[in-house]
Structure 1
Amino acid sequence: MGRAATGKRSCGTCKDRKILCDRTTPTCSQCTRTKRECKGYGLRLSWPREKDARRAIVLQSSRHNIKHSDKRVKNASMVHATNWDIEMYMFLSALAARAPVLHEPVRWNPHQMGEVEWDLLNYFQLEASRSLTTFGSDPKHLAKFLMQISQNGKSPASKAVLHSILGLSSVYRYGWNAQAMEFKISSLRALAQASETFEESVEGTHHVAAGMLLCSLEVHMASCSASEWTWYVNGIKEILYSDIPHRKCTLDVEKTMLMNWVYYHDIMKVFSIRHWKPEREDEVIASISQPQILNESSTRKLVSREELTYCDEPLSSAPWIPAILKLMSELCDTVPTKPCLQSMSAQELDVYANRIKILDWRIRDIPMPSPTEKSSASVYLYQLAMLIYLNRVTENILKQTSKLKGYIDNAFTLISELETCKPHFPMYIIGWEARTDEQRATFLEMLERTKKDPSSRSVFHVEALVQAGWTQDDLAEEDLNYWDKVTTLVSVCFTMPSFV
């Protein structure tokens, strides 16, 4: 037994008994001899007993002789400071590194909503809006615009937007569930009702917004029942075709952001259709899983990709956004599905090579953001992915083997530095290029970081198909045909995957 390193502090029991304590450990001799519980030597909080004048707190009088007036202050008011105000004060006083964010509260909504709906609406504004698959624009800004039009009157169109928001918020929060399905069905019914009295110039924006939210809902969950996200994109383009005479190049910033959202999904839909060629034995299953692919003989009139952006001026602050989207569209149009170079004549091959050379130069000439820009990494990753895909799918017609190796090395260097990578197109294209264990480990580590990000959607298809590609590369005695490999891997998916 030894003495406690507590100076002259007695144990709690001896202090209460007001006797001398020898401060031995683990229990003092007095407590051991009298068989009492030793309360130890730690610091104890205590409060004065009732009528204990010796321990009572008495306010000392001021040193200054201040004469107090009996007059009361008129119109006195208390300072109302919230937690946000205190955080702002801490930031302005250099006591905090970041200023607080001011979230706009959900305004009055004309629709009758219960507590569950209000909770989901607030959750969408604060959290679920980050899952919106946009390109080049902040999902929070798009979400603010969607919230505004969902509260614009009590029309069926605004109800469709509102219930689409609630369905997406429910899926993001709880996964695929009955509540989300009910909101989805309710939104579709509201859209059907709104179509009966459709006014293009008034409700066209609502139809587009509701359709894109339902599209995002399907993309976010990677639905195993149908390729419904393609149906929504085609439906939106049909609405826009009838709405073109009313737009007349008068799109504001919010509507331009909405059009770019549609444009991005339409381009990725075309890329998916290029490589998704499933063979289904069951006709019923095939009809359910088949995406909506319309050919030239279709009677439905859809807005073209050029008409989606003909009103848009290149953004001076971010010129790379329309440049990448436009070049991605041209990449799908310029390179035919499975180009057969052996069957081309010398003249045809020369014309084709010149077209590919021009496209390659234009992709390399994309105006890149400065390294300090938040979107610089994703823009550079898209550029590298397009260059790699163009080189591979054209069977290296430009003879750029050394450049291709440089693109791949730069892509994996960038992936190792990224915290997450949400767009799936560059993940697929760059992931399939991993040949060494180091490159594959780098890709899988980035994939794990992306999984932990709550705002990223499921990467199941990315992980499964990329690793399947690695296995086929390892089993093959010689390099596989790139088009056949990619098409076969994408086609094994029961539903057409989205590359957004």
Structure 2
Amino acid sequence: MPELCGLLVRMSLADETPAALAARHAISALSYQHLGNHAAAVMHQAKSLGALQVTINRLGAGDLEAGQALQAMAASMLLNIFETLNFDGSSLSWAIFFCGCKKIVNLHDTLYKFSTRHWYPKQTQQILLAAQKKVVSKAVFSPLRQIILASTGCSLQLLDLLCQIVDAVLDRDDPNYLSPEHLRTIRSLELRLDDLTQTPRIASTSTGENHERQLAELYRLAAKIYLLRMARGLPRGDPVVVALVDKAMHLLKEDEVQPYGRPWPLFVPLGNLPLVRRLIHAAWVRMDLAGDNGVDLMDVYNAVVSGLRVPPSFT
């Protein structure tokens, strides 16, 4: 508990963004409530809700960094505790903002779902999570689905597709693996990835916008590589797979000014982050040991991911 309290305090004092202020005022609201100062507690609750409103609006505009997302989730959970203890207050305003924070959670749960898919042995809770049909955004026709989010590096639409792609990865002994229905699902996802459009938050000719586009494109290429190799089972040397990997490598070499800090797309094509380097090295070892006979990439993913102490986070 002391470690958790210390973490919350550090998160709230990390900067002066609305997300940090929301967490800071939520802590103050709980503190004053504990001291019996109801007026001060309600005042800080109102300030926390106001800052959280600004943060959720930034989420909707696609302008929220990962650290701020965590601060907003912490503020939301603290306000939940405050509302639980404050029987005289209304929980309506908090509930509205909590829905926005749930959207933040869904963004990051998408990539945890990927880790859970390849983690063995699975716990009951992990099996339930992996089986969930997660919807990151219900606004199917909203143009915001195409905006590249700072907190994820790609668009909501791509995250939705990635959830469906993970669901389409079946065990090789599954009776539905490569059945006509399974192949139709894979082909549909492949076409949707090909038609996907991802738009920077602010259109310009700046280096930052170009990096944003390239990172989002790297996500798209990684999603397609994963779909074809894991769901369809294409070999590493397949011409389509080779072409996709070549495109991803070209992006990595082209954008040397701003290095990519996103583990998931780097892990799928290739990368050099500490976690990614460890995972790729373990994958290479397993493929080398297989010799000329080759190895099923499903076995490689399962073994490499399960070889870590806890399921890796690719956010």
TM-score (norm 2): 0.64
Aligned match of 1:340 in 173, 190, 193?
173
Residues 475/420 of structure 1: CA separation in 2 closer, same or farther (3 Å cut)? same
Aligned to 1:155: 29
Equivalent residue, structure 2, for 1:264: 107
- 2: CA distance, partners of 1:190 / 1:201: 12
Rounded to whole Å, the distance in 1 between the matches of 2:155 and 2:249 is 22
Q: Which has the larger radius of gyration?
A: 1
Instruction: Answer whether contact 1:259 1:309 (CA < 8 A) is retained.
Output: no
Which of 3, 9, 15 in structure 2 is aligned with 1:124? 15
Distance 1:189 1:259 in 2: 14
1-structure distance, mates of 2:11, 2:265: 32
| Residue 195 (structure 1) aligned with residue 69 (structure 2) | no
Matches within 5 A, 1:484-499: 484-499=299-314
2:212 is the alignment partner of 1:375: yes
**Aligned residue in 1 for 2:165:** 331
In structure 2, which of residues 137, 157, 172 is the aligned counterpart of residue 309 of structure 1?
Answer: 137
Q: Which amino acid aligns with 1:387?
A: K
Query: In structure 2, how many angstroms separate the alpha carbons of the residues matched to 1:272 and 1:385?
Result: 15
Specify every segment of 5 or more residues in structure 1 that has no aligned partner in the other structure, as ranges.
1-116, 126-142, 163-171, 173-183, 209-239, 241-254, 280-289, 297-301, 432-442, 448-458
Matched position secondary structure for 1:430: coil
1:467 aligns with 2:284: no
1:360–1:387 CA contact under 8 A, matched in 2 = yes
How many Å separate the matches in 2 of 1:424 and 1:376? 17
Amino acid of the structure 1 residue aligned with 2:228: N
Distance 1:496 1:305, change over 3 A: same
Letter aligned with residue 422 of structure 1: G
Does structure 1 conserve the Cα–Cα contact (< 8 Å) formed by 2:12 and 2:23? no
**Counterparts of 1:13-412 in structure 2 under 5 Å?**
123-125=14-16, 143-148=17-22, 150-151=24-25, 154-156=28-30, 192=81, 194-197=83-86, 199-204=90-95, 208=98, 240=99, 255=100, 258-278=101-121, 292-293=125-126, 295=128, 305-306=134-135, 309-311=137-139, 313-315=142-144, 318=147, 321-336=155-170, 338-340=171-173, 343=175, 349-369=179-199, 372=205, 373=209, 374-396=211-233, 401-412=238-249
Secondary structure in 2 matching 1:476: helix
Aligned residue-pair number: 250
| Residues 225 and 268, structure 2, Cα contact 8 Å, conserved in 1 | yes
**Which has a greater percent of helix?**
2
Amino acid aligned to 1:155: A
Q: Which amino acid aligns with 2:314?
A: F
Counterpart contact for 2:198–2:213, Cα < 8 Å: yes
Q: 1:410 to 1:317 in 2, by over 3 A?
A: closer
Q: CA separation in 1, counterparts of 2:251 and 2:82?
A: 49
- SS of the residue 2:15 aligns to: helix
Distance 1:317-1:357 versus aligned 2 partners, 3 A rule: closer
Could you tell me how far apart the structure 1 residues matched to 2:144 and 2:20 are? 21
Match of 1:214 in 2: none
Decide whether the 8 Å contact of 1:272 with 1:496 is kept in 2: yes
Find the aligned partners of 1:397 and 1:349 in 2 and give their Cα distance: 15
Contact kept, 8 Å, 1:468 with 1:489, in 2: the verdict is yes
Amino acid at match of 1:195: T
RCO comparison, higher one (Cα < 8 Å, 6+): 2
Match of 1:423 among 254, 262, 266: 262
| Superposition TM-score, scaled by structure 1 size | 0.42
**Paired letter, 1:365:** D
CA distance in structure 2 between the aligned counterparts of 1:355 and 1:120, rounded to whole angstroms: 42
Which digits, 9 at most, give the CA deviation of each residue in 1:212-245, with x for residues without a partner? xxxxxxxxxxxxxxxxxxxxxxxxxxxx5xxxxx
CA distance in 1, matches of 2:147, 2:220: 15
CA distance in 1, matches of 2:25, 2:116: 36
What per-residue deviation string (whole Å, max 9, x for no partner) do you get for residues 314-361 of structure 1? 32872771221111111122333x2437x559xx72222122111111
How many Å separate the matches in 1 of 2:120 and 2:265? Answer: 21
Secondary structure at the aligned position of 1:315 is classed as helix
Q: 1:384 to 1:316 in 2, by over 3 A?
A: closer
Mark the runs of 5 or more structure 2 residues left unpaired by the alignment. 1-8, 31-40, 50-66, 68-73, 149-153
- SS across alignment from 1:351: helix
Residue 147 of structure 1 aligns to which amino acid in structure 2?
Answer: L
| Structure 2 residue identity aligned to 1:427 | L
